[in-house]
Structures are given as structure tokens and as C-alpha cells.
Structure 1
Amino acid sequence: MNDPVARRYSAGAMLFHWAIAIAVIWNWRLAENAHHAGDKLQAAAIMGNHKALGITILALTVGRLFWRWTHPTPPLPATLAPWEAKLARGLHILFYVLLIGLPLGGWLANSLSGREIDFFGLFTIPALPVGENKDLGHTIFEAHHTAGSIFIYLIGLHILGALKHTFFDRNGGIFRMLPFGKVPG
């Protein structure tokens, strides 16, 4: 496999990856800003955007999974140690679990609290038909917050791994997910 394009992700995969990455980081910052907002009304407005962006992340992730199932992904670099390959695969699976589970958990917690989700003022996403249980909703919100924090640390690990592979191992690392840069054969 000497074709350098075959060692890169497809343009669609790159687009999904970076759109989701930006949305996740932005959504984390929204949640942090809401937590530190000056009053409840301001916090609620910020959280409204957080929830709508969470639904967007869910939709993008479903699109990314469909793309992944219909377009081949490049093989991992042959220079990876077996433990690195296992860690990479496991982390990617965990990312998909969190990218689907966090928005669904937030939607479920909202639904249990009797709330719909306003999608950036364009339309309303109805509550799931689960009935109202504010205590359970609160518990799920707490789990959502904890999982979101863990997700941010895992993203940091992912970035460190990409940088290690790019600048220390020199195996293409981050350039596999960018349309430029050298991906060695």
C-alpha cells in the first residue's frame, strides 16, 4: 500500500472528525460557562445552547458512524506497538460510546425533568416519552457531568497520542486526519 492517500482518512471522515471535535470542545466550554454564569437566567440560556449543540453532536456522530461503515478507514501505522494499537482502538470505541451516550443521557435527563430541548430557536425537540422523575433526571445529569469531564481528559490523551506519533514516532500521526502533511509509507 504505497498510495499515501490510502493511509489518510477520507475527506468525509476528516470533515466529521473536526466538526465533532470543535463541537465537543465548544459544548464543554458552554457547560463550564453556564456553571460560572452570574445568574440562573443567564445559565439557563447558555445551557439551552449546550443542549442544542449536544443534539447536533449526536446527529453528526450518527452521520460519522454511517460514513465509517460505508467508507474504509486506513490501517493503523505498522510502527505502533501492540499495546498502542489496542489503546487506540479502545479509545475510539469509547469516544463513540460517549459521543452517543452523553447527548442521549442529556436528552433523557431533560425528559425526566419534564423539559423539551429548544434547538437554537429553530424548532423544539420533544421530551422522550419516559414520564417525569426529577430525582432520576438529576442523577442522570450528574452522571452526564462526570462522563463529560472524563471525556475531556480522554480527548487530551488522544491529542497527546497524535502529537507523539507525529513528532516523536514520525509515523504521520495527526496528518492521517488532515488533508496536508506527510504520512510516511
Structure 2
Amino acid sequence: MTDTATARRYSTGAMIFHWVIAVAVIVNWRIVENAEQLEGAARGAAMGNHKALGITILALTIGRLLWRWTHPVPPLPSDLARWEAILARTVHVIFYVLLIGLPLGGWTANSLAGREIDMFGLFTIPPLPLGTNEDAAKSIFGLHATGGSIFIYLIALHILGALKHTFFDKNGGIFRMLPFGKVPG
């Protein structure tokens, strides 16, 4: 890999954070979607996994942000239209807001419902010291679900953009976030 290609590609750490978080988010979405068809203990177990994975995503996102602040991010491809660059930056900011806000919102709602979060049987995270308020918990859970739906649509937009840039614009697109493939100079 040339220095020019390296400068246009994300760092290995950024790639690892990106793909681990991406897989975790998709798995967490599938867990909650499947939990909707379950009842009783099976639903509770699935939702327990959803909550624990959400907190894991929060921790990984904090790690990713720390990595991002200490490692240079490659510039966007120079052939992007202004609106594409603005859209790319906006979607990335919203991703970070959701990657932090959704787990915090879920933890807040669980706390207001008086529930702790079991981290895959390893340890528990206690409720935040907010007292209990079932109505507020229900409202926050509703916002959490809406935010999750918005996140899935933005992920689809992100994937379509990466594919467009890779196969139509041929400017490196997805290969900027992979350790292989051509990233034009």
C-alpha cells in the first residue's frame, strides 16, 4: 500500500471499530425485531441480550471516538459533490449521536422502570439514580424505538452511498474502510 493510499484509507483501528460496531448494531436490531414475536421468559432473555449489547455498543463507540480524536481521518474523496460531502458528514454525526443516545436512552428508560442491566451474566449495571417513573420510561422507550428505526434507514443510506462511490464513482468508497481494494489517488 502506498503512502497516498494509506492517507486515503482509515486506520486499522478505525476499521476494526467500524466493522465490530456495525455488526453489533445489526445483530442488536435483529435481536429486538425477533423479540417482538416472543413472549414471557424468552422475550425477557432476548431483551436482556439487546440491552447488554446496547451497552457494549456504547462502550465501543466511546472507544471509537477516542481513537478518532487521536488518529487522523482521511479526507473525503475530492470528486464528491458539495451536497454529498455535507450529507456524508451529517449522517456520520447522526450515527455518533444515535450510537451514544440510543444506549443511554435505553439505560435511562430501564432505570426509570427500576431495572438493572444484566451484562450477559457477567455483572449487572445498576439503574441510574433517577427514581422510578413508568410513564417517563414508556415515553423514552418509544423514542428509543423511533431512534432505532431512523438508525436502520440511515444505515441503508450509508451502505447505498458506499456502494455508489465504489461501483459508480469508482473513488474507493467502501475500500477506504477495508484493508484491501483500490483507493484511487
TM-score calculated relative to the size of structure 2: 0.98
Identical pairs, percent: 73
Alignment length, in residue pairs?
184
Distance in 1, matches of 2:33 and 2:5, equals 40
CA apart distance, 1:77: 0.2
The one-character-per-residue Cα deviations of 1:100-140 (angstroms, maximum 9, x if unpaired) are: 00000000000000000000000000000000001100100
Distance in 2, matches of 1:40 and 1:94, equals 34
Letter in 1 for 2:17: F
Letter in 1 for 2:68: R
Distance in 2, matches of 1:22 and 1:136, equals 30
CA apart distance, 1:176: 0.1
Gaps of 5+ in 1: none
Distance in 1, matches of 2:152 and 2:94, equals 12
Distance in 1, matches of 2:179 and 2:15, equals 8
The one-character-per-residue Cα deviations of 1:129-160 (angstroms, maximum 9, x if unpaired) are: 00000110010001100110110010000000
Aligned pairs (5 A) from 1:83-98: 83-98=83-98
1:36 aligns with 2:41: no
Aligned pairs (5 A) from 1:100-179: 100-179=100-179
CA apart distance, 1:11: 0.1
Letter in 1 for 2:79: T
Distance in 1, matches of 2:102 and 2:31, equals 15
CA apart distance, 1:3: 1.4
SS of equivalent to 2:131: coil
Distance in 2, matches of 1:107 and 1:66, equals 22
Letter in 1 for 2:173: G
Aligned pairs (5 A) from 1:38-57: 39-57=39-57
CA apart distance, 1:2: 6.1
Distance in 2, matches of 1:40 and 1:136, equals 23
SS of equivalent to 2:42: helix
1:19 aligns with 2:39: no
Distance in 2, matches of 1:2 and 1:115, equals 51
Gaps of 5+ in 2: none
CA apart distance, 1:41: 1.3
SS of equivalent to 1:3: helix
Distance in 2, matches of 1:26 and 1:36, equals 16
Letter in 1 for 2:144: H
Distance in 2, matches of 1:165 and 1:180, equals 16
Letter in 2 for 1:101: G
Distance in 2, matches of 1:45 and 1:122, equals 14
SS of equivalent to 2:23: helix
Distance in 2, matches of 1:79 and 1:121, equals 49
Distance in 1, matches of 2:72 and 2:57, equals 22
The aligned counterpart of 1:180 is 180
Letter in 2 for 1:18: W
TM-score calculated relative to the size of structure 1: 0.98
